Structure formats: structure tokens, C-alpha cells
Amino acid sequence: MISPFLPEEENNDPDSVPFYPDVSEQVRNLLGPDGQMADVFSQRGQVYESRGQQLELATVIAQTLHEGHHLVAEAGTGVGKSFAYLAPALLAAIATSQKIVVSTYTIHLQEQLLHSDIPKLSQALGREVKAVLVKGRSNYLCMRRLQLARRMGGDLFRPEHQNWLDRLAAWANETEDGSRQSLPEEPPMEVWSQVCAEEGTCVYPSQREHQNCFLTRARARMQDADLLIVNHALFFSDLAMRGQGGSGLLPEFDVVVMDEAHQMEEAAGQALGIRLTSWSFTRWIRSLYHSDSRKGLLSVLKKGTLAHEVGQVQKHVDRLFEQMQAWSFQRGDGRGCVRVKEPLDIQTPLPWILQELGQKLKELELETENTEIRAEIALARRRAGELATGLTSFLELRNTEYVYWVEEDNRGGKKRVVLCGSPVHVGPILRDVLFDRLHSVIMTSATLAVRGGMDYFRKRVGAEMANELQVGSPFNYSRQMRVYLPGGIPEPNQSGFPDAVAEQILIHVQQTRGGTFVLFTSIAMMNEVLKRVEKDLYREGYPLWVQGRGESRSQLLRAFKQHEQSVLFGLSSFWTGVDVPGNALRSVMITRLPFAVPDHPLVEARMENAKNQGGNA
């Protein structure tokens, strides 16, 4: 693949910033101590700190993009990674009119890029930079499906759900982007799944209606953008869809920056794997026919016999998941996660029934003249095939490169089982669908190296051919921070652990006068400790913010920053990608280090894989 970065005389855009030949000079002009970014910060009344490590990282990324290589870069805390990759990425995008994808693991980092970092770089470059936050298809309201659902509402939904259609129609006339995130109140999933955009359902009867589609508008914004900001889950799901021959949501791109790259393997494994719940099947069944209310698509089409057959599927689903729950309970030892090492001795006709129903839906699709309804039938047919394939793969352990397991899900207060499968090693897959196809993949994080090198990480994600770079942190840790390890704390599985942690929290918060994150790996443990400290913290005047009580992570962070004595109790999403500048965050309490559980089936299988290849698990 040829380099996309062209010399100035070959670039026909008079407003573009040439990215040739001295890319390092352009980066220094942006990020250096007397550069354009320093001017922007000065104009905003802020202090700009040029960092040697940041300049080194940005320069190497610029050269990598210019030459068309892949790069794994570890940059310590405080380097300013986002400016270090955004500056060369924007210079490249402007010079070549190519789209560059930036993928992050956390929503907070996406918001920081969009609302803080990119506007500053845009001001420094003296031109508008078009950056778009990309959301998955099903996040957008489909006007055609909404209109169809309203016409068929009496046959599709129960009265309490049917009222939602009118509310969504009123909201559709007011909303700018039509995404679920901008709804004032979340609709029931049973309703939203019938009116959201899905692959293959865009069958608008006229060009005008198609142009008014929220997803079409979103795609137009993507096509017009310089940078596309996505999360890892969407990026790898899009990659998996393309790999299976489907149409991805993202437009064509040749360069991707993977920030928080230490999460790549996990995110890719989830996107490429299997996750089946009883609701996965029930939602499909109810979209066609809800036996209690006698509503659904087949009711609209007056297909009573087929509706009855679909309705009967639920009893097989219930029976299968009852059997799986019993199997898991017998073998689980209370761990909540059990590996499946050999095909299960559980008999269910579900895969065969789903395949048969898929064929009948295909016949119904062919005989249906209405294009809108035909698209809905096609969607149901494809889902039947996906459920059948996933379930067969799980029950028969069909993919020898996967590990399969059953895990418990206690959300909503009810214990359910989830059937899971994931590639043991995503490296070979990513090498084929990512690294061998793209011009440049830039991977960066503060935590990638093992024993001073990146060999382990590069092998795990299939990036053996990538160059590597390590730049240290500008922080002087011995002067700028202290680490406390309180003694006498019981083991986390001992009864005295919550009391001991609660005591330390109260002591430490008093010493720092708040400004504290308290981070947990378990919501149950967080709630146990919370019961012991909540009243005392409130009585002492410390505003307490707790993840999982309704506010989003962004709302919690904003509230935390506004009150200097705040204490925030957080879970996994607060462990990485959080930036609280200034004096608002003065201390972080880690109640338990978030190491991967060695006996989790996926971790266990990876350890076995390492041993089998002569490595050290």
C-alpha cells in the first residue's frame, strides 16, 4: 500500500497543511514550547507545558503515518498521549483528505477528545477540524420503522408500550441527531428494538425520506469528517461484521489510532465471541409473536399457524436455560463462572427449530409484496440464523479455537445464566482483518510493556510486525506522590475486610479533606463498605457520589469536580481514562487490585495456550 501523504506539489487542496517532507518540524510547530498550542492556551488564560516525551511520541507517530507502518507506543502517565496522537493524525487527515479513526475504551475519553482536545488543536491549526462521535446503528431511531410500528401498533404492542410510539414520534420532531442517548427517558427495549435502525431495514420509498433518516444523516457526517471517534466495542464489532461479509457502519478508512490499547484483546474477544441469554431468544420471539398479548409481526400478517409455531419456541428456551442453570449450579462452587470443556449432554431441539423457522420466514419474505414489512421479515430471518449458529457452536463446542463457559448475571435482582464463547487468541484474527489491511495502526497506552518490551502485547493482538516505542513519564514520582499500604487488612474474602476498608476510608478522607476516589472491583463489596461509611461522610460534610445510583459517569465526574471535598465511590469504568486536572482529585484509594481472575475460563484457557506454546503462563 502506498503512503497517503503527498508532497505539496501533488496536493491540490490550497487550504491543506502539507505533511511532507519534514513531519517532525510540523509537530514541533504545534506542540513545542513556543508553538501554536502554547498560543492557544495563552489566549484561554491557561498555562501550556511542552513535554519532551510528548514531542518524541508525536514525532514518531507522524513518521509512522507518513511511512505506512504500525506502531505500539507506551507512554507513561502525564505525557499527554491524546495531543501526541491527535496532532499528527489531524495533520495527516488535512493533508490527504483521508479519514482517520480514533478508538478509545471509555466514553469519558471520547468526550475529552471532542469537547476539549480537538477544539484546541483546531484553533491552533487555524481551521475547522470535523470530528464525529460515531454511535452504533441501533442507537438511532428509524423513522420508517417507527411509522410502520405506529400503523401496526395495535397488533404489535400492548397498550402501555403502544403509548411509547406517540412519545417517540413527538420526540423525533424535536431531536437533532435521533439517538437514544438524547432521549429524556429510556424506552422499554421491547419497543426500541422495533423502531431502531438495523442492518438491512433501510428501505425508504423515496430519496427525500431516505435523506431525512437519522442514520443517513449520521453517515453523511461521517463521510464529511476528518476524524471519527469510536469506542473499542463498536470498532471491533464493525470489523467483525466486515469480516463476515456484512456492511460495516464506518466509512472506508486506512488509519486507526487505538488509545487505551491494553484493552484491545478483551474488546476484540467480546466482539468476535458469543453471548447468549434467554432474553436474546425471547426478544426475537416477541418481535414476531407475543403469545400472552397475541401481538407481533405475524399477528399483523395474519399468519396464525406460523405465529403459533414461533410462540412454542419460548418453552424450549425456558427449558434450555433451566437445564443450563442446574448444570452451572452443580459445577460452579459458587464462583459464578463455569468452563465448558466437552459437548454438553443437554438435549434441545432449539437449533433445528430456529433453522426451520428461518426457512419459513424466507418463504414468507419472498411472498410479501410490501417492501417495509419484507425488510422486517428479513431481519427476523437473519436473527433466527444467528441464534441457531451461536447456540450450535456453544452446545457442540464447534470452534476449536474458542473457549466456552457459562456465567451468572445477577442484574435486576434475578439470577440468570449467560452462554459465552470467545477466541482464546485474537491475534491471528486481528492480523488478518486489521494489520494486514490498513496503512497504519497506532496503538498507545500507559501500560503495555512486560519486562521492558512489547513482545507479549504485540503477539497477543497480532501486531508482531509493528514498531515499538517507550517514553517515560514527565512526573517525578518520588517528589509528586506518595503510596500508602495500610497493614492489618484481612483478605478480601474474610468477614472483617469491609470493616477494615471502611475504617481506612474514614481516616484517609479526613487526612486529605476529601478529593478522593475510592475504587472497587465488585459492586457487592462497594455497597457493603458504603453502608459502613455513608452516614459518617455526610455528617462530616463530604459530598458523596456513588456509581450506579442513576447518574452517568460524566455527571458524576462533573459533580465531583465542582465540590473540592467530594468523595466518589466507583467501579471498573473509573479505573482508566479519567482525567481530573488541578486539585479536585488529591488521592485514590484502591480497595483491591483488579487482576484477572486466574480461574476465569477465558484466562485459564489463555494460560493453557501459553504453556502449550512453551511460554510462561
% of the chain with per-residue pLDDT over 90: 51
- Residue 1 predicted with pLDDT over 60: no
The reported pLDDT for the residue numbered 358 is 95
- C-alpha to C-alpha distance for 118 and 247, rounded to whole angstroms: 29
Highest mean predicted confidence (pLDDT) among 162-171, 236-245, 559-568: 559-568
Q: Kindly list the distances between the CA atom of residue 181 and the CA atoms of 175, 249, 427, in Å, as whole numbers in the listed order.
A: 11, 18, 33
The reported pLDDT for the residue numbered 208 is 55
- C-alpha to C-alpha distance for 134 and 144, rounded to whole angstroms: 21
Highest mean predicted confidence (pLDDT) among 5-9, 135-139, 497-501: 497-501
- Residue 334 predicted with pLDDT over 70: no
Amino acid code (one letter) for 265: E
Inter-axis angle of helices 304-332 and 278-288, nearest 10: 170
- Residue 135 predicted with pLDDT over 50: yes
| Confidence at 103, pLDDT banded by 50, 70, 90 | very high
Mean confidence (pLDDT) of the chain: 87
**Cell for 501?**
476498608
- Residue 223 predicted with pLDDT over 70: yes
Q: Which of 510, 568, 574 is nearest to 544 (CA)?
A: 568
- C-alpha to C-alpha distance for 613 and 183, rounded to whole angstroms: 50
**Cell for 220?**
453523511
- Residue 294 predicted with pLDDT over 60: yes
Give the mean model confidence (pLDDT) for residues 426-437: 93
| 413-429 pLDDT, tens digit each | 577 899 999 999 999 99
The reported pLDDT for the residue numbered 570 is 93
Q: 337 near 363, Cβ under 8 Å?
A: no
Q: Which DSSP state fits 179?
A: B
The reported pLDDT for the residue numbered 200 is 64
Give the mean model confidence (pLDDT) for residues 585-603: 87
Least trusted range by pLDDT, from 28-37, 66-75, 402-411: 402-411
Write the DSSP string, 187-199: PPHHHHHHHB--T
Q: What is the maximum span of the chain, computed from C-alpha positions, in angstroms? A: 76
7 phi and psi, to 5 degrees? Answer: -65, 160
The reported pLDDT for the residue numbered 55 is 94
Give the mean model confidence (pLDDT) for residues 511-525: 93
- C-alpha to C-alpha distance for 371 and 369, rounded to whole angstroms: 6
% of the chain with per-residue pLDDT over 70: 91
Helix residue spans in 98-186 (DSSP H): 107-112, 118-125, 143-151, 153-156, 159-172
- C-alpha to C-alpha distance for 617 and 604, rounded to whole angstroms: 9
Give the mean model confidence (pLDDT) for residues 87-114: 88
**Cell for 283?**
426478544
The reported pLDDT for the residue numbered 5 is 39
| 4-50 pLDDT, tens digit each | 333 334 444 434 444 444 677 888 899 999 999 999 999 998 888 88
Q: 441 near 85, Cβ under 8 Å?
A: no
pTM given for the model: 0.85
Give the mean model confidence (pLDDT) for residues 91-112: 86
Residue 199 exposed, middle or buried by CB count within 10 Å (0-12, 13-18, 19+): middle
- C-alpha to C-alpha distance for 258 and 82, rounded to whole angstroms: 11
Give the mean model confidence (pLDDT) for residues 246-267: 89
Residue pointed to by grid coordinates 410502520: 148
Give the mean model confidence (pLDDT) for residues 101-114: 87
Strand order in the sheet with 100-104: 131-133, 227-231, 100-104, 255-258, 440-445, 71-75, 467-471
Q: Which DSSP state fits 78?
A: T
Highest mean predicted confidence (pLDDT) among 280-289, 528-537, 602-611: 528-537
Amino acid code (one letter) for 346: I
